[in-house]
Amino acid sequence: MGEVRENRLGVTLCGIELDNPVIPASGTFGYGREFAELYDINILGTFSFKGTTKDARLGNPVPRIAETSCGMLNAVGLQNPGVNHVVAHELPEMKRFFHKPVMANVSGFSVDDYVYTCEKLDKEPQVGWLEVNVSCPNVHGGGMSFGTDPKAAAAVTRAVKAVTTKPVILKLSPNVTDITEIAKACEDAGADGISLINTLLGMRIDLKTRKPILANTTGGLSGPAVFPVALRMVYQVARAVSVPIVGMGGIASAEDVLEMMMAGATAVEVGAANLVDPFACKKIIEELPAAMDKYGINTLQELKG
Amino acid sequence: MVLEGDGTAVTAPGQFIDIKLDGRYLRRPISVHDADEGSITIIYKVLGHGTDDMTRYEPGKPLDVLAGCGNGFWMPTGKETPLLIGGGVGIPPLYLLAKKLIAAGRKPQAVLGFNSKEDAFCIEEFRALGCTVTAASADGSIGTKGFVTDALPAPDTYDCFYTCGPLPMLRALDAAIPAGIPGQFSFEERMGCGFGACMGCTIPVKGGYKRICKDGPVLAREEILWEK
């Protein structure tokens, strides 16, 4: 709006100020602990913690990971200790090393699952946003099936909004014909923001065994390979909805951040890059001012619109 | 391959390093053969494109490496006489372990398994440390003909064991070694990050699950679930 910002990297996401727009993406940052051992993660805008479900999940059998050109496939399958464990153990521990509002990533297999988990996390003081994942490609009978049907995505949104007070961001799947239709359905149902994209469904075959590398056969593609697809979808969704957008998909540099924000993202998530270089987000944040100077960008706020 | 640099991040034998290779997206986890203040030594086998690339790296090339990944082997608590059993590329991490055990006053014996004589390596290095070494090879061209399980010493000559090698070998050892003898098994798995963030290498264990890269690669015998 018109306010003067001391911090040229600062952005506002659904009413909450971020020191910078860089957010490690869910599933690549755990609950923060492994990275807090390496650097002070309070330099981040925030982070989106590991996708949490009503009950604990072991996830899929191994192998869960396959390399690709310029990226990777994963089929982890939402391994997490369950929301009650997260509330009782992960969040109290997180408070010791992370002192900002955190983004709570939630997944489920029924509308009731989403409601149960979101209602619990909404009550946690450190949770700033709920990022509702209707797009996990690696679980059966849930996840992505809610994100490929506008009516189902709207139903999840409406049900979660009814039991929560914090901003609800719907995380969408790119594995659809028209992502703007889903985004609009979520916005109409009350979503406070949209994040995109989750991974693109893919697979690889082991030439020696002639069988799929992943035990789950298929997995989600992420990494720099998906960046142009993600950018295109963020651009389309930004023109279809008026709520803020968190853009993600293959971001690996400060320049990628600027490009994603020019496409219409208010903030960005960085995923696979964290797995290749645990310091990736730190480096991106440190490189942002110089990249902005290079392209004549005074504040990140001015990129919006 | 000998890497020059601070090897003190390697705090236990059986840990691995995670190497970023040019043009390959994910890092390559490779076990540490030896490490000191100024270097880390690895012995790798060409299994895919990444390790094949590494054979063409010239001396002096800088490498981006995460060092000291994983838990590594832990030392025995009492006066145990350890048995080390390695198969193929599972042998290198046992070398640093043997060194540490000997430095701690233990007398480890080793059983090393290979496909054939031309694949054999490290035998003399273990002997030079002062280990008794028994070799086994699938084709009988060196040592006992057969697998490491065919070359195990009498159970009363050791009271704990450490092993690293292919999964079928680990499974066979668990079946062959009397149940009362404690053991540490080092596992291999396809990894995403190598430092515990992605949950890409999690396997079920008794009482829960463990990330091979962070909570492993070494698991205690009593926590392993063999059925898959």
Residue B12: inside a domain, yes or no?
yes
Amino acid identity for residue A133 in this structure: N
Spatial CB neighbours of A68, under 8 Å, sequence gap ≥ 6: A202, A204, A221, A223, A225, B25
B115 and B39 in a common domain: no
How far is the C-alpha of B202 from the C-alpha of A79, rounded, in Å? Answer: 9
Query: In whole angstroms, how far apart are CA A170 and each of A78, A106, A114, A182, B135?
Result: 17, 10, 12, 10, 59
B88 and B64 in a common domain: no
Nearest Cα of chain A lies from the Cα of B157 at a distance, in angstroms, of: 36
Tokens found for residue A45 = 């805008």
How far is the C-alpha of B7 from the C-alpha of B65, rounded, in Å? Answer: 11
Cβ separation of A72 and B26 shorter than 8 Å? Answer: yes
B160 and B54 in a common domain: no
Q: How many CA atoms lie within 13 A of A139 on its CB side?
A: 25
B214 and B127 in a common domain: yes
Cβ separation of A71 and B25 shorter than 8 Å? Answer: yes
Residue B210: inside a domain, yes or no?
yes
The verdict on A76 touching B (C-beta cutoff 8 Å) is yes
The verdict on A34 touching B (C-beta cutoff 8 Å) is yes
How far is the C-alpha of A25 from the C-alpha of A268, rounded, in Å? Answer: 9
Nearest Cα of chain B lies from the Cα of A183 at a distance, in angstroms, of: 27
pLDDT for A141 equals: 59
Of B15, B37, B69, which closes a domain? B69
Nearest Cα of chain B lies from the Cα of A65 at a distance, in angstroms, of: 6
Residue B77: inside a domain, yes or no?
no
How far is the C-alpha of B225 from the C-alpha of B204, rounded, in Å? Answer: 7
Predicted confidence pLDDT, tens digits, chain B (228 residues)? 999 998 899 999 999 999 999 999 999 999 999 999 999 999 999 989 999 999 999 999 999 999 999 999 998 876 778 999 999 999 999 999 999 999 998 999 999 999 999 999 999 999 999 999 999 999 999 999 999 999 999 999 999 999 999 999 999 999 999 999 999 999 999 999 999 999 999 999 998 899 999 999 999 999 999 975
SS (H, E, C) chain A: CCCCCCCCCCEEECCEEECCCEEECCCCCCCCHHHHCCCCHHHCCCCECCCECCCCECCCCCCCEEEECCEEEECCCCCECCHHHHHHHHHHHHHHHCCCCEEEEECCCCHHHHHHHHHHHHCCCCEEEEEEECCCCCCCCCCHHHHCCHHHHHHHHHHHHHHCCCCEEEECCCCCCCHHHHHHHHHHCCCCEEEECCCEEECCEECCCCEECCCCCCEEEECHHHHHHHHHHHHHHHHHCCCCEEEECCCCCHHHHHHHHHCCCCEEEECCHHHHCCCHHHHHHHHHHHHHHHCCCCCHHHHCC
Spatial CB neighbours of A156, under 8 Å, sequence gap ≥ 6: A108, A111, A114, A132, A134, A146, A170
Tokens found for residue A100 = 């900002």
Which single residue is written with the structure tokens 């540099």?
Answer: A253
- Topology of A11-61+77-200+221-303 in CATH? TIM Barrel (3.20.20)
Cβ separation of B26 and A62 shorter than 8 Å? Answer: no
B55 and B119 in a common domain: no
Residue B35: inside a domain, yes or no?
yes
Cβ separation of A28 and B198 shorter than 8 Å? Answer: yes
Quote the number of domains for chain B: 2
- Minimum Cα–Cα distance from A219: chain B residue: B200
Of B10, B40, B69, which closes a domain? B69
- Find the helix or strand (DSSP H, E) in which B128 lies: helix B123-129
- Find the helix or strand (DSSP H, E) in which B173 lies: helix B167-176
pLDDT for A140 equals: 63
B136 and B172 in a common domain: yes
Nearest Cα of chain B lies from the Cα of A75 at a distance, in angstroms, of: 8
Quick one: angle between helices A179-188 and A150-163, nearest 10?
30
Residue B203: inside a domain, yes or no?
yes
How far is the C-alpha of B97 from the C-alpha of B160, rounded, in Å? Answer: 13
pLDDT for A2 equals: 46
**Rg of chain B over all Cα atoms, to the nearest angstrom:** 17
φ and ψ at A294, to 5 degrees? -60, -35
Tokens found for residue B36 = 């000191």
For chain B, what is the total number of helices (H) and then of strands (E)?
4, 15
B124 and B20 in a common domain: no
Cβ separation of A275 and B26 shorter than 8 Å? Answer: yes
- Minimum Cα–Cα distance from A207: chain B residue: B48
Contact list in A for residue B64 (CB cut-off 8 A) is 277
- Minimum Cα–Cα distance from B204: chain A residue: A58
Whether A136 sits among the annotated catalytic residues: the reply is yes
Mutation target vs A (from B11, B26, B225; most A CBs, 10 A cutoff)? B26
Q: Which residues of B touch A (CB under 8 A)?
A: 20, 24-27, 64, 66, 189-193, 195-204, 209, 214, 228
CATH number at residue B164: 3.40.50.80
Q: ipTM of this model?
A: 0.89
pTM exceeding the 0.90 threshold for the entire prediction: yes
Q: What is the mean pLDDT of each run of 10 residues along chain A (305 residues)?
A: 70 97 97 96 98 95 95 95 97 98 96 96 98 81 75 95 98 96 98 97 96 96 98 98 98 98 98 97 98 96 80
The b-or-e profile of A11-31 (16+ CB within 10 A means b, else e) is bbbbebebbbbbbbbbbbbbb
Mutation target vs A (from B66, B189, B193, B228; most A CBs, 10 A cutoff)? B193
Range of the domain at B25: 2-69
- In three-state secondary structure terms, B54 is helix
The verdict on A69 touching B (C-beta cutoff 8 Å) is yes
Residue B228: inside a domain, yes or no?
no
Residue B75: inside a domain, yes or no?
no
The verdict on A70 touching B (C-beta cutoff 8 Å) is yes
**Rg of chain A over all Cα atoms, to the nearest angstrom:** 18
**CA quadruple B39, B44, B46, B48: dihedral, nearest 10:** -80
The verdict on A51 touching B (C-beta cutoff 8 Å) is no
In chain A, which among 240-279 make CB contacts under 8 A with chain B?
A: 272, 274-278
Cβ separation of B202 and A64 shorter than 8 Å? Answer: yes
B161 and B65 in a common domain: no
- In three-state secondary structure terms, B203 is strand
Cβ separation of A34 and B197 shorter than 8 Å? Answer: yes
pLDDT for A304 equals: 74
Cis amide prior to A228 (ω within 30 degrees): no
Cβ separation of B201 and A64 shorter than 8 Å? Answer: yes
Residue B76: inside a domain, yes or no?
no
Of B47, B69, B91, which closes a domain? B69
Quick one: angle between helices A227-240 and A179-188, nearest 10?
40
B62 and B8 in a common domain: yes
Tokens found for residue B132 = 């008794």
How far is the C-alpha of B226 from the C-alpha of B228, rounded, in Å? Answer: 6
Asked if B43 contacts A255 with a C-beta cutoff of 8 angstroms, the reply is no
B143 and B61 in a common domain: no
